[in-house]
A and B are shown apart, each in its own frame.
Chain A
Amino acid sequence: MLEAAIEALVMILDPQRLPFMFLGIAMGLIVGILPGLSGTVGMSILLPFVYGMDPYTGMALLIGMAAVLHTGDTFPSVLLGIPGSSGSQATIMDGYPLAKSGNAARALGAAFFSSLVGGIIGGITLFLAIPVAKPLVLAFGSPELFMLAVLGLSMVGVLAAKNARHGLLAGLLGLMLGTIGGAPAVSEYRYTFDWIYLFNGIPLAVVALGLFAFPEMVDLLAQNRKISSKTKLEGSWKDGIVDAIRNKWLMFRSAVTGSLIGFVPGLGGSVVDWISYGLAKQTVKNSDSFGKGDIRGVIAPESANNAKEGGALIPTLLFSIPGSGTTAILLGGLTLMGLQAGPKMVTTDLPITLSIIWTLVLANIFGAIACILLSKPIAKFSLISAKKLVPFLLVLLLVGAYQSTRHIGDMFLFVGIGLLGWIMKRLDWPRAPLLIGFVLAPAAERYLWISMSRYGFSWLTNTGVVIIGIIIILILSSGTIIKKLNKDKKNNEMSSIS
């Protein structure tokens, strides 16, 4: 295996192939930086060029793009408070407040370093998973997948800790929005009002951009201020890296979580960042500063969303089950190059799988370095006044939203959901629960439906189901327990002083 890995590395580093990886990296960074454009867009742009390439070159191009997407998408999340792609929303929660207080460079430094480490861990996970992937994938039946969706949904409670009622309502609203379109099991269409645009449901990018980006634009314009309250940028990316290293355990933990969630087929990688953010918030000490510019709130999701890509490739390559829009297109790309995802990817086609892993690792390293070099000039965006900045951003956002289906409905819904998001922001309702509900609605419904029609109620006692159930309860209660422990500690200290 090791010998084959080195051989694959030599293949990748072939001077005729290397430029394609860098082309992919450049593409991934640009798509990531432009708000609203996701990996699906990057993939569809690159796909036609893959035709006729040898698989090593083609994969270097496609994987190079996918690997660094979540490194580049940190820029808009931190600097502008708008999601660079659907995988980087959680970074906004703390990255944006940091930028507002003039610490953009520090937040970016920490984010890129975490992305780099996360990406490498994701690649290693993919490598380690090769021999055990089959039993691992087969361990997740529909009941287990349903419970994992519930685990994701439980983050609603974590993220809305202060205002549980509002958070719950927002989560339910998200679940409802997620039911629009074709039902997963019965061929019926729900809430489509005979509008064919809604047959496939509302696109994720439209919801994410509407909820987070539109309200920010409106408020920036209304106040006509710059994003950063200070006129000079403080701190440098080096501070951010130091922050990240100081929180190395969190970074490592988030990366492992990220690649594990990415690996679960059918859950969709779009909530990895939120789950990782929620877990961090629940388990670190003194989490009160989360949401107000805590660097740990940047490290956790950024490490996880890069690690996810490695995990997501396991079911894609070995079982030809795409975990996301990006990997679905990747499967098409494989076919165009004369390969077929399946068990062969770890036997006869193993060199290709290994080259994919190397590309993941290398692209993450180069992508992060490129971003760090770019961070200084790009961080100055936060110093531009809103009147000049917002019109450009609105164009970009509309383009991003319109990319989803290229139907005029994308525009209408972007504005409609944007207004909803703005009202929620004004009323101080948490918006993340709505998004999580929306993303997980199809999976939760699908697997609950299948579990019930296949097993009745007997699935509730499956070992896997019980284990995940216990984990959910632990996560939900851990926040309160840790807080209580801290309080006790403080009380003890107090009493010992007095």
Chain B
Amino acid sequence: MKSKKLLVLLLSLTFFAGFLTACGSEDASTDQNSDDGQADGSTDTADGVFYEGETIEFLVPFGAGGGTDTFARFMAPYFSDFVEGNPDVQVVNVPGGGSINGANEFVELREHNGLNVLVTSASTHAPYLLGEEAVRFDLKEMIPVAGLPTGGVVYTSPSTGIESPEDLLNPQEDLVYAGISATGLDLVTLLSFEVLGLDVQAVLGYDGRGPSRVAFEQGESNIDYQTSSAFLTNVTPLVESGDAIPMYSFGQLNAEGDIVRDPAFPDLPSIKEVYVELHGEEPSGPAWEAYKTFVGASFTVQKVFWLHSDAPSDAVDALKQASEEMAQDSEFKEKGGEVLGGYDLYVGEEVDQVVNGMLNVDPEVVDWVKEFLKDNYGVERLD
């Protein structure tokens, strides 16, 4: 009978579907077991080398193709090369719940055996700091292995009549900002307006930073920000054609808890300098403290690789050492161009420092931010 043949065909199709599922969820990013990454001439034998013959899983709490996913996939082969024992590295996407899902899963379901690594971004840090109800992970209970900063630049449209930061307080038309959500990265921008004392109407609900930039180009908004790499790619042409004027960078939080110029934009004043220019004194007060906290958590520490705090110390040492070597590698830096956005990796003591700074938050600041969100943007969920 012919139907028998078809039955076989069906069976094989079903199996293929099963195979796809397996592939889809655990994309083998690398399969390299080459020798070129052998760190310090150590032998290939199994004793003492923690990751020999093992597979590390990078859990990315976002869907494939996003910024964090791209970053993790870019890093995977380098970890495979530089970690002693040359483990395979796989990227696993667990999207959902604005990355809370995946981070919860990392803590609750993944074995704390040093083979599981969580990759977080600002979207994971903010709900943790704000104490979202769904958060069941504690970043203080994890060990940062490596991190990456990014920055942001605020720019205005010539239609506002603003030509330099000193005009910010006296625009010729009402300032309108197109944003995504008050509790996301936009929080930093909104806090920066609050710090500077700008009167800006925030229209929220856009589908992403791309659409909000298009809204700026259309004239639907006239003050906007983009993160460093997006600014360089998509806003620089606007600046050159005279359709956008850069105002200030968000700056970076240094080890002393102070805002300094963004190394990616050395010629652009940071928000702190603009404040001094506008108000003649150093910024202070709860809004400034809140701003610094969230710049730290959203930009200065934009992405972090984490291990469980009770992961084997051999694993922690191996990954930390590998990332330190990686950060020095010239090929890594060269190929990292777009992905790294012109910043250096945080490794070693530095990553501990910046992460500590990010997590060491005054509860009063958090309460102030919750009030700020409630009063200005109707966010009542966080109470």
Which residues on A are within 8 Å of B, measured CB to CB? 30-31, 33-34, 37, 40-41, 43-45, 47-48, 51-52, 137-138, 141-142, 182, 184-189, 194, 196-197, 199-200, 265-266, 319-322, 325, 328-333, 335-336, 338-344, 380-381, 383-385, 388-389, 392, 395-396, 399-400, 402-403, 405-407, 446, 449-450, 453-454
Decide if B24 touches A403 in the complex (CB within 8 Å).
Answer: yes
Q: Closest CB of chain A to B379's CB: distance in Å?
A: 6
- Indicate the member of B27, B95, B205 with the most A CB atoms within 10 Å: B205
User: For the complex, what is the distance from the CA of A450 to the CA of B179, rounded to whole Å?
Assistant: 10
Q: Is the interface of B mostly helix, strand, loop or mixed?
A: helix
Q: Of B66, B220, B335, which contacts A338 at CB under 8 A?
A: B335
Q: Closest CB of chain B to A69's CB: distance in Å?
A: 14
Which chain B residues numbered 85 to 127 have a C-beta less than 8 Å away from chain A?
Answer: 91, 93-98, 100-101, 104
Tell me which residues across on chain A come within 8 A of B104, comparing CB atoms. 196
* Interface residue B17 (Cβ < 8 Å from any Cβ of A): yes
User: For the complex, what is the distance from the CA of A321 to the CA of B209, rounded to whole Å?
Assistant: 8
Q: Could you list 4 further interchain pairs (A-B, Cβ under 8 angstroms) beyond the known A40-B64, A328-B66, A450-B220?
A: A37-B17, A265-B211, A380-B6, A399-B18
Decide if B25 touches A266 in the complex (CB within 8 Å).
Answer: no
Decide if B214 touches A137 in the complex (CB within 8 Å).
Answer: yes
User: For the complex, what is the distance from the CA of A266 to the CA of B23, rounded to whole Å?
Assistant: 29
Q: Of A328, A330, A446, which contacts B63 at CB under 8 A?
A: A328
Tell me which residues across on chain A come within 8 A of B70, comparing CB atoms. 332, 335-336
Decide if A399 touches B229 in the complex (CB within 8 Å).
Answer: no
Decide if B214 touches A321 in the complex (CB within 8 Å).
Answer: yes
Q: Of B11, B95, B101, B215, which contacts A141 at CB under 8 A?
A: B215
User: For the complex, what is the distance from the CA of A406 to the CA of B6, rounded to whole Å?
Assistant: 29
* Interface residue B234 (Cβ < 8 Å from any Cβ of A): yes
Beyond A141-B218, A196-B97, A399-B18, whether A320 also contacts B3 by CB under 8 A is: no
User: For the complex, what is the distance from the CA of A369 to the CA of B210, rounded to whole Å?
Assistant: 37
Decide if A184 touches B205 in the complex (CB within 8 Å).
Answer: yes
Q: Of A47, A194, A389, which contacts B10 at CB under 8 A?
A: A389
Tell me which residues across on chain A come within 8 A of B69, comparing CB atoms. 332
* Interface residue B164 (Cβ < 8 Å from any Cβ of A): no
User: For the complex, what is the distance from the CA of A329 to the CA of B215, rounded to whole Å?
Assistant: 23
Beyond A340-B338, A343-B237, A450-B206, whether A380 also contacts B17 by CB under 8 A is: no
* Interface residue B65 (Cβ < 8 Å from any Cβ of A): yes
* Interface residue B21 (Cβ < 8 Å from any Cβ of A): yes
Q: Of A45, A331, A336, which contacts B73 at CB under 8 A?
A: A336
Which chain B residues numbered 175 to 216 have a C-beta less than 8 Å away from chain A?
Answer: 176, 178, 181-184, 203-208, 210-211, 213-215
Tell me which residues across on chain A come within 8 A of B100, comparing CB atoms. 196, 199
Decide if B182 touches A187 in the complex (CB within 8 Å).
Answer: yes
Decide if A381 touches B335 in the complex (CB within 8 Å).
Answer: no
Which chain B residues numbered 202 to 260 have a C-beta less than 8 Å away from chain A?
Answer: 203-208, 210-211, 213-215, 217-218, 220, 229-230, 233-234, 237
Beyond A47-B73, A395-B17, A396-B14, whether A320 also contacts B210 by CB under 8 A is: yes
CB nearest neighbor in B for A35: B17
Tell me which residues across on chain B come within 8 A of A52, comparing CB atoms. 77
User: For the complex, what is the distance from the CA of A265 to the CA of B207, rounded to whole Å?
Assistant: 10
Decide if B73 touches A196 in the complex (CB within 8 Å).
Answer: no
Q: Is the interface of A mostly helix, strand, loop or mixed?
A: helix
User: For the complex, what is the distance from the CA of A184 to the CA of B95, rounded to whole Å?
Assistant: 18
Q: Of A41, A194, A265, A449, which contacts B205 at CB under 8 A?
A: A449
Q: Closest CB of chain A to B147's CB: distance in Å?
A: 19
Tell me which residues across on chain A come within 8 A of B98, comparing CB atoms. 182, 199-200
User: For the complex, what is the distance from the CA of A330 to the CA of B338, rounded to whole Å?
Assistant: 15
Q: Contact size class for B?
A: 35 or more
User: For the complex, what is the distance from the CA of A335 to the CA of B211, rounded to whole Å?
Assistant: 19
Decide if B210 touches A48 in the complex (CB within 8 Å).
Answer: no
Decide if A446 touches B207 in the complex (CB within 8 Å).
Answer: yes
Q: Of A200, A319, A322, which contacts B96 at CB under 8 A?
A: A200
**24 A-B contacts, Cβ less than 8 Å apart?**
A41-B24, A44-B93, A51-B29, A137-B214, A138-B218, A196-B96, A197-B101, A199-B97, A200-B95, A319-B214, A321-B207, A325-B63, A329-B63, A332-B66, A332-B67, A332-B69, A332-B73, A336-B70, A336-B74, A380-B2, A388-B7, A403-B20, A403-B21, A454-B203
Q: Closest CB of chain B to A275's CB: distance in Å?
A: 20
* Interface residue B368 (Cβ < 8 Å from any Cβ of A): no
User: For the complex, what is the distance from the CA of A320 to the CA of B212, rounded to whole Å?
Assistant: 11
Decide if B210 touches A321 in the complex (CB within 8 Å).
Answer: yes
User: For the complex, what is the distance from the CA of A381 to the CA of B381, rounded to whole Å?
Assistant: 52
Beyond A48-B91, A320-B210, A453-B203, whether A187 also contacts B183 by CB under 8 A is: yes
Q: Closest CB of chain A to B333's CB: distance in Å?
A: 13
User: For the complex, what is the distance from the CA of A407 to the CA of B206, rounded to whole Å?
Assistant: 27
* Interface residue B134 (Cβ < 8 Å from any Cβ of A): yes
CB nearest neighbor in B for A197: B96
Q: Of B11, B134, B213, which contacts A392 at CB under 8 A?
A: B11
Decide if B211 touches A194 in the complex (CB within 8 Å).
Answer: no
User: For the complex, what is the distance from the CA of A141 to the CA of B207, rounded to whole Å?
Assistant: 13
Interface string of B8-39 (1 = CB under 8 A from A): 00110110111011011101110000000000
Beyond A396-B13, A396-B14, whether A185 also contacts B133 by CB under 8 A is: no
User: For the complex, what is the distance from the CA of A52 to the CA of B81, rounded to whole Å?
Assistant: 15
User: For the complex, what is the distance from the CA of A385 to the CA of B3, rounded to whole Å?
Assistant: 9
- Indicate the member of A52, A194, A322, A339 with the most B CB atoms within 10 Å: A322
Q: Closest CB of chain B to A266's CB: distance in Å?
A: 6
* Interface residue B378 (Cβ < 8 Å from any Cβ of A): yes
Q: Closest CB of chain A to B227's CB: distance in Å?
A: 12
Decide if B220 touches A199 in the complex (CB within 8 Å).
Answer: no
* Interface residue B337 (Cβ < 8 Å from any Cβ of A): yes
Q: Closest CB of chain B to A265's CB: distance in Å?
A: 7
Tell me which residues across on chain A come within 8 A of B264, comparing CB atoms. none
User: For the complex, what is the distance from the CA of A197 to the CA of B339, rounded to whole Å?
Assistant: 30
Decide if B77 touches A51 in the complex (CB within 8 Å).
Answer: yes
Tell me which residues across on chain B come within 8 A of A384, comparing CB atoms. 3, 6-7
Decide if B23 touches A45 in the complex (CB within 8 Å).
Answer: yes
Q: Of B21, B28, B176, which contacts A454 at CB under 8 A?
A: B176
Decide if B64 touches A396 in the complex (CB within 8 Å).
Answer: no
Decide if B94 touches A406 in the complex (CB within 8 Å).
Answer: yes
Decide if A392 touches B14 in the complex (CB within 8 Å).
Answer: yes
Tell me which residues across on chain A come within 8 A of B133, comparing CB atoms. 194
Decide if A51 touches B74 in the complex (CB within 8 Å).
Answer: yes
Tell me which residues across on chain B come within 8 A of A37, comparing CB atoms. 17, 20
User: For the complex, what is the distance from the CA of A231 to the CA of B244, rounded to whole Å?
Assistant: 68
Decide if A335 touches B338 in the complex (CB within 8 Å).
Answer: yes
* Interface residue B332 (Cβ < 8 Å from any Cβ of A): no
Decide if B217 touches A329 in the complex (CB within 8 Å).
Answer: no
User: For the complex, what is the distance from the CA of A158 to the CA of B2, rounded to whole Å?
Assistant: 42
Tell me which residues across on chain B come within 8 A of A45, comparing CB atoms. 20, 23-24, 27
Q: Of B21, B101, B381, which contacts A187 at CB under 8 A?
A: B381
User: For the complex, what is the distance from the CA of A259 to the CA of B97, rounded to whole Å?
Assistant: 32
Tell me which residues across on chain B come within 8 A of A380, comparing CB atoms. 2, 6
Decide if B93 touches A266 in the complex (CB within 8 Å).
Answer: no
Tell me which residues across on chain B come within 8 A of A405, comparing CB atoms. 95-96
Q: Closest CB of chain A to B104's CB: distance in Å?
A: 7
User: For the complex, what is the distance from the CA of A329 to the CA of B93, rounded to whole Å?
Assistant: 12
Q: Closest CB of chain B to A261's CB: distance in Å?
A: 17
CB nearest neighbor in B for A188: B381
CB nearest neighbor in A for B10: A392
User: For the complex, what is the distance from the CA of A383 to the CA of B5, rounded to whole Å?
Assistant: 13
Beyond A48-B28, A196-B96, whether A450 also contacts B335 by CB under 8 A is: no
Decide if B205 touches A446 in the complex (CB within 8 Å).
Answer: yes
User: For the complex, what is the distance from the CA of A388 to the CA of B11, rounded to whole Å?
Assistant: 11
Beyond A339-B338, A340-B229, whether A196 also contacts B378 by CB under 8 A is: no
User: For the complex, what is the distance from the CA of A384 to the CA of B204, rounded to whole Å?
Assistant: 53
Decide if B211 touches A330 in the complex (CB within 8 Å).
Answer: no
The 6 A-B residue pairs with the shortest CB-CB distance in the complex, in nearest-first order: A185-B205, A332-B65, A329-B65, A44-B64, A321-B210, A199-B97
Q: Closest CB of chain A to B90's CB: distance in Å?
A: 9
User: For the complex, what is the distance from the CA of A69 to the CA of B373, rounded to whole Å?
Assistant: 44
